[in-house]
Homo-oligomer: A and B are copies of this chain.
Amino acid sequence: MVILLKKNPEQKQLDNLIHWLKGLGIETKFTVGHHSTILGLLGDTSIVDIDLVRALDIVENVMRIQEPYKNANRKFHPDDTVIDVCGRKIGGGNFQIIAGPCSVESEDQIISVAKSVKAAGAGLLRGGAFKPRTSPYAFQGLRGTGIELLLEAKAETGLPIVTEIMDASHLPLFEQVDIIQVGARNMQNFELLKELGKTNKPILLKRGLASTLEELLMSAEYIMAGGNKNVILCERGIRTFETYTRNTLDLSAIPLLKELTHLPVIVDPSHATGLSRLVKPLSMAAAVAGADGLIIEVHNDPTKALCDGPQSLTPAQFEDVACDIGKALDVIGKKIG
């Protein structure tokens, strides 16, 4: 970290700053110029709060040299992390499609969807048991029962299951879940992240609606700092002024995240746009841009879905989409599964 001091900084404040940094185990080195003085920080600056330093009266500006994340940082772990879920590999050249309904609704529904997405090439089954809904009056998911139904679908088809957690206290219900999803609204639910860091489950961490890539990586760092290195990042659209789509899918996040981190990066085109007819072009785009997988909503009867139905594909549409994803992957020498 490099701190640019204002001209003639107050000595007492400067002493306080240096003393505080020393307390954090960081040495400082001065370079005095005509108009300003530069303070170089030597040591592990990942623990220094850059906003705090920037706001000091004596500070003109601050620049990081080190990124504030370590476990998630590709500089310290050059090789791709590969997450193996019951034999389905994600990352390091391996590409998986996770598919399934927004909400688990019934045994028939989830087993029927699971069979069709498996037939079309999906490697994992998704389904919402706990549902974060904007309105308290909307359907909140089948909760524990939903997880049981997912496990039945897994037993029937062999597909590992992915489902969202909303509170750390529900963790005991997730013991047999293969990948635990953290939703966009909980990306900075730090108490939940800490608890997930104590498990060894793969965590699918969705980017928050207004979160920068650095904040996403810092949330991954929360999980990894606890000892759980199995984190999969997911770009699912950010909030912008454009109202035509529900969110704006940020596909440049894929190549950028692949530079910054060794963790797998997948894309959720269904939630990003809220429009099922955009799933195909954006899935193909994500594939050629280097994503390690996709998570796609598929429903056996979209018009009857209890939530988010309209962003879901039918099984037949999904088959068509999966086929075109396969062709797109060919271009970059990858394949599904």
Min C-beta distance of A241 to chain B, whole Å: 5
Given A274-B51, A282-B252, A309-B52: A167 and B188 interface contact (C-beta under 8 Å): no
Min C-beta distance of A308 to chain B, whole Å: 7
Contact of A284 among B13, B238, B272, B289 (CB under 8 A): B289
B63 adjacent to A63 (CB under 8 Å): yes
A218 adjacent to B135 (CB under 8 Å): yes
CB closest residue in chain B, given A285: B285
Given A36-B65, A55-B311, A285-B286: A192 and B167 interface contact (C-beta under 8 Å): yes
- A60: interface (CB < 8 Å): yes
Given A35-B65, A52-B309: A256 and B240 interface contact (C-beta under 8 Å): no
Min C-beta distance of A106 to chain B, whole Å: 15
For A29-59 the 0/1 string (1 means CB < 8 A from B) is: 1010111101010100011010110111100
- List CB contacts (< 8 Å) of A205-257 with chain B: 208-210, 212-215, 218, 221-222, 225-226, 238-246, 248-252, 254-256
Min C-beta distance of A220 to chain B, whole Å: 10
Alpha-carbon distance A40/B193, docked complex (angstroms)? 41
In the complex, which of the residues A277, A285, A309 has the most CB atoms of chain B within 10 Å of its own CB atom?
A285
Min C-beta distance of A119 to chain B, whole Å: 22
Residues of B within 8 A of A169 (CB): 168-169, 191
- List CB contacts (< 8 Å) of A272-312 with chain B: 272-278, 281-282, 284-290, 303-305, 307-311
A248 adjacent to B245 (CB under 8 Å): no
Min C-beta distance of A21 to chain B, whole Å: 12
Given A185-B189, A250-B248: A60 and B65 interface contact (C-beta under 8 Å): yes
- A17: interface (CB < 8 Å): yes
CB closest residue in chain B, given A189: B189
Binds B, one of A91-99, A151-159, A325-333: A325-333
- A22: interface (CB < 8 Å): no
B255 adjacent to A248 (CB under 8 Å): no
Residues of B within 8 A of A210 (CB): 208-210, 239, 241
Alpha-carbon distance A268/B62, docked complex (angstroms)? 25
Given A210-B210, A331-B330: A46 and B285 interface contact (C-beta under 8 Å): no
Given pairs A56-B310, A210-B210, 10 additional interface contacts (CB within 8 A):
A46-B137, A55-B276, A212-B242, A213-B242, A213-B244, A249-B250, A249-B251, A256-B278, A282-B289, A284-B332
13 contacts between A and B (CB under 8 A): A16-B303, A56-B309, A60-B65, A136-B194, A167-B168, A170-B191, A214-B244, A240-B240, A243-B243, A249-B251, A252-B282, A285-B288, A288-B288
